[in-house]
Structure 1
Amino acid sequence: MASAFEGVVKSVVRELDHSGELIPTSSLRNSTSFQPYCLLGRKSSSSWFWRPRYVCVNLSIRDILEPNIPEPAVECVGHFHFQDAVDGKLQGSVELVTPGQGTFAGGAAVSGSSSASMNVSTLRVSPNTWVAMLQERRLQQPEHKVLQQLRAHGDDVFVVTEVLQTQKEVEVTRTHKREGSGQFALPGVMCLQGKGQGHLSQKKTVTIPSGSILAFRVAQLVITGSELDIHFIPNKKQKTFVTSQADDQPQESSTFSTVIKSISDRLKILSDGPTKDWLVPTEDFQGLKMEVMSCAKGLENFSKMLCGQLLGALGQVLRDQEALQVLEEAVSKPLGTGRVGGVGGACPRPSRLTAPPSPKLEQGQCCGQVEPLPGPAGAILECLVLPCRALVEELASPIFYLLEALAALSETQHVLLAQMLEARALMEPFKLVESLLEQSVPWKESGAVSLPPGLLGSSWGSEAPTWVLLEECGLELQVGAPQVCWKPEAQGCTCALYACLALLLMLSQLC
């Protein structure tokens, strides 16, 4: 059963915001983190098709400005009452009569319901408040330590400008019930008869405390030297930390974000010709497919044994959100020297590689030193490093790309992917999502997309794993005539899901 909290949040956002600027809170656990004036970090993306999630950095904008005085009060710009109740049932029966041989009959029914009633309010920082703040306050000098770390990681920084907040405690209830029955009769010397029936009921209740943030809106900080500006209109090309040519000098240290940039640059080169003939993926399904398949080709560098180790660790990490967060944070930390070894000091060539190493790897030039991590997150990193703790870019690139795609998905989707990975049941979901993305072009237009019946599996409904995967992307699905109502705002999550399925599928096939 999909997350009750995420389900009601997405329903509220759909009703109250058609611009796509409100960002749904991903889980109840962090529903109090995204307060007005709160600063958020977001990693640079190596893909044109989705963006990583916003992460709270436990700072308010007052923490990076001088003088350090309390922020002005926010204004309430709207009160809304939201009530959502759904009750449905689907049933069917079949009877087979064979003259002289017997009778077989069976029936099944599936029903479900959900209900939620809440009062929410919109809290916003007035645009005039931001203007006054930038005029009256200045960026701290020296720069706050957290900003220095975000700058070193290559992350962008945002500030929360508006939130959708619950006014009272809310209880969300979802139920799902399945029933089945069957009977048969076989004539003969002794008439053999039998019948059976059964049912399975599930009920999920979630209490959302008063003051919880259901969704938020952000503006991007832009820092040039000691100057601070705030951009309210999203621009994915804008960077928070703008450096002058004098500051933009090569550094001895390296970060995992530089590896991500390297991935991005390399994924945009999809031919073997000279520089002038390099191709750049278009921002459509063919571009996405080329980008993901180019990255998946990098998995061929893994040996069969190493693929098995990676899959086992990935399955554990997908079920453990804390471990996944530890791994995501680890790949954002600054590394040591960008060059390991050299003449007389190169790391031993990794025997785990099945493909011949590139000249860059042959010379011992890797991405930097990696500190060990505990648990399954550490097991994944161990597959990507040499004995001297140097990260191997040829191995790390596709895995970092996978982690980036996973960051765009929900906790419910992570668990389902882990189950599919364990059951080796990734092919049908991959083909289904691929067909959906291909048929829904152009992605900026809404429309109904028919799903191939052969890829739906034995059951198709709200409890089917692929159904939940797509529903978590913000898509509406139908049972009778299998269809998906494509929505432009679901593009990022659906593309990330496609990338995750493609890379996990290839890893499983290489084992």
Structure 2
Amino acid sequence: MASIFEWVVKRVVRELDRNGELIPMDSLQNSASFQPYCLLSKKSSSSWFWRRRYVCVGLFIRDILEPSDPEPAVECVSPIHFQDTVDSNKQVSVKVMAPGQGKLAFGAAVSGSSSASLNVCTLRVSPNTWDTMLRERHLRQPEHKVLQQLRNRGDDVFMVTEVLQTQEAVEVTQTRKQEGSGQLALPRAIGSQVEGQGHMNRKKTVTIPSGSILAFRVAQLVITGSDLNIHGILNKKQRTFVTFQAESKLPGGAGDQRRLSSGFSMIKSIYDHFKIQSDGLTEDSLVLTEDFQGLQMEVNACAEILENFSKTLCGQLLGVLGQVLWDQQALQVLQALEESLEQGQQLGRVEPLSGPAGAILECLVLPCRTVVKELAGPIFYLLEALAALSETQHVLLAQMLEARSLLEPLKLVEGLLEQSIPWEERRAVSLLPELLGSSWGSEAPAWGLLEGCGLELQVDAPQVCWEPEAQGCTCALYACLALLLKLSQLC
């Protein structure tokens, strides 16, 4: 069963946000931190399917401006009452009888329910408010220490301009009940009959406190010298620190070095591989698009680079990745590796790390402690894909990896992505029977993987309700399955 908090958030956002501008919270633990006017940071991502998470930097806009007066009051939009109730009950029974041969019968029933009823309100910073604020205040000089650190790391900075907030505490419960029975009767001559039955009940309850943030909207800070602007319309190519962007245009400049150090420009290593291995295919002619063809090109390029790994190295990496999946720490490993590489870029060599991050790093460095960028590319790409998935999905992948059963779910996810085009539209997608494997239901591992992407699935007529917001997670799942399968085949 997926996170109840995430389930509630997705339901509310889907109902109230028609333009797709609200960013759902993915954790109840820090849902009170994303308040209007607070500053967030986000690193650029090397893969289009994984949107890096926004991170609170512990500052508000007043902390980087002079004078540091309190921010203007926010607008409170009229409260909205939201209620969502789901109650399902599905049963199936089969009987097989043959004269003189005996009888075989079995049945199964699955039922579940979930209900959420809550009052939410929108707190909003008017664009006119922040325009007036910026006319009357100026960026602090010297620059705040935290801004300096973000500038050096090449991170972008954003301000929360709108939040969807609960007005009172609410308790949400999800239940799932499964029952099964079977009967085997042999011919009279033998005179034996076997019967069995069982059931399993699951119940999850969470209390969402009053004042919890369910979703938020941001505007990007753009700093040019000592001038500060706030852009409400986000642009993927826009960077916060414009001077940093200008430096990156100089070959070998500081900006270029910092940018390369963020995961060593993983996609660039894939481009370079294509330039070397293919006939006349250059970086300019290789255009990776945000569609299934572009996804396949990225994953196939990574898989091709992995073929250069030795059997021993593939086995080492697979063992460490299995540990990462069981411990559900893909994001922490990715962050530790990135920080190590950023420091190594400045020192000319990377220092050893402890734990799984260190084990992965040792697979990618030469005896002189420099990183082999071509090898680092696909591994960082895989870690970014793993970081986009939930803890439940990590455990399911770990189980499939141990059982060497990655091929069937890979074909299933691949078929789903192909049938769901265009991804921007909601639709019901029928799943081909040959893609479902030996079982299909709420306990099937592939079911859990897809459910974790935010998709609704049906048992009777195997079907998936495709949701546009599930695109990123489903594409990340495809990349994980494909690359983990490739590594296991190379061992």
TM-score w.r.t. length of structure 1: 0.87
**2:281 is the counterpart of 1:301:** no
SS in 1 for 2:265: helix
Question: Where does residue 436 of structure 1 map in the other structure?
Answer: 416
Amino acid in structure 1 at the alignment position of 2:266: I
1:461 pairs with one of 432, 437, 441: 441
CA distance in 1, matches of 2:398, 2:85: 31
Question: Where does residue 229 of structure 1 map in the other structure?
Answer: 229
Which aligned pairs between 1:62-101 and structure 2 lie closer than 5 A?
62-101=62-101
Question: Where does residue 382 of structure 1 map in the other structure?
Answer: 362
Residues 261 and 342 in structure 2, CA contact (< 8 A), matched pair in contact too: no
Q: Percent identity?
A: 72
Distance change >3 Å, CA 329–CA 71, structure 1 → 2:
farther
Distance change >3 Å, CA 299–CA 275, structure 1 → 2:
closer
* 1:101-144 deviations in Å (ceiling 9; x for gaps): 21121111111111222121111112222112211222222322
Question: Where does residue 318 of structure 1 map in the other structure?
Answer: 325
**2:447 is the counterpart of 1:500:** no
Residues 406 and 485 in structure 2, CA contact (< 8 A), matched pair in contact too: yes
Which aligned pairs between 1:338-377 and structure 2 lie closer than 5 A?
338=345, 368-377=348-357
- Please state how far the C-alpha of 1:488 moved relative to its aligned partner: 2.7
Question: Where does residue 331 of structure 1 map in the other structure?
Answer: 338
CA distance in 2, matches of 1:283, 1:245: 24
* 1:259-285 deviations in Å (ceiling 9; x for gaps): 546333344564431648833234321
- Please state how far the C-alpha of 1:397 moved relative to its aligned partner: 0.9
Query: Which sits farther off after the overlay, 159-168 or 305-314?
Result: 305-314
Q: How many residue pairs align between the two structures?
A: 484
Query: Which sits farther off after the overlay, 12-21 or 251-260?
Result: 251-260
Query: Which sits farther off after the overlay, 230-239 or 62-71?
Result: 62-71
Amino acid in structure 2 at the alignment position of 1:298: I
CA distance in 1, matches of 2:41, 2:381: 18
**2:283 is the counterpart of 1:280:** no
- Please state how far the C-alpha of 1:293 moved relative to its aligned partner: 0.9
Which aligned pairs between 1:155-234 and structure 2 lie closer than 5 A?
155-234=155-234
SS in 2 for 1:239: coil
Amino acid in structure 2 at the alignment position of 1:494: T
Question: Where does residue 47 of structure 1 map in the other structure?
Answer: 47
Distance change >3 Å, CA 313–CA 30, structure 1 → 2:
farther
Distance change >3 Å, CA 310–CA 145, structure 1 → 2:
farther
Residues 45 and 260 in structure 1, CA contact (< 8 A), matched pair in contact too: no
Residues 179 and 200 in structure 1, CA contact (< 8 A), matched pair in contact too: yes
Which aligned pairs between 1:396-411 and structure 2 lie closer than 5 A?
396-411=376-391
Note the residue ranges of structure 2 that are not aligned, 5 or more in a row.
none
Query: Which sits farther off after the overlay, 219-228 or 443-452?
Result: 443-452
SS in 1 for 2:56: strand
Amino acid in structure 1 at the alignment position of 2:487: L
Question: Where does residue 102 of structure 2 map in the other structure?
Answer: 102
Residues 262 and 341 in structure 2, CA contact (< 8 A), matched pair in contact too: no
Residues 222 and 241 in structure 1, CA contact (< 8 A), matched pair in contact too: yes
Question: Where does residue 394 of structure 1 map in the other structure?
Answer: 374
Residues 337 and 361 in structure 2, CA contact (< 8 A), matched pair in contact too: no
CA distance in 2, matches of 1:234, 1:72: 23
- Please state how far the C-alpha of 1:176 moved relative to its aligned partner: 1.1
- Please state how far the C-alpha of 1:451 moved relative to its aligned partner: 1.5
- Please state how far the C-alpha of 1:374 moved relative to its aligned partner: 2.7
- Please state how far the C-alpha of 1:507 moved relative to its aligned partner: 1.5
* 1:192-217 deviations in Å (ceiling 9; x for gaps): 12211111111111121221111111
**2:269 is the counterpart of 1:262:** no
Query: Which sits farther off after the overlay, 286-295 or 368-377?
Result: 368-377
SS in 2 for 1:243: helix
Question: Where does residue 296 of structure 2 map in the other structure?
Answer: 289
Distance change >3 Å, CA 265–CA 11, structure 1 → 2:
same
**2:137 is the counterpart of 1:137:** yes
* 1:364-402 deviations in Å (ceiling 9; x for gaps): xxxx43233332232222222233432221221111112
CA distance in 1, matches of 2:312, 2:481: 21
CA RMSD across the alignment: 2.6
CA distance in 2, matches of 1:480, 1:186: 30
Amino acid in structure 1 at the alignment position of 2:97: V
- Please state how far the C-alpha of 1:157 moved relative to its aligned partner: 1.6
SS in 1 for 2:364: coil
* 1:287-324 deviations in Å (ceiling 9; x for gaps): 21111211222222322222222222222323445563
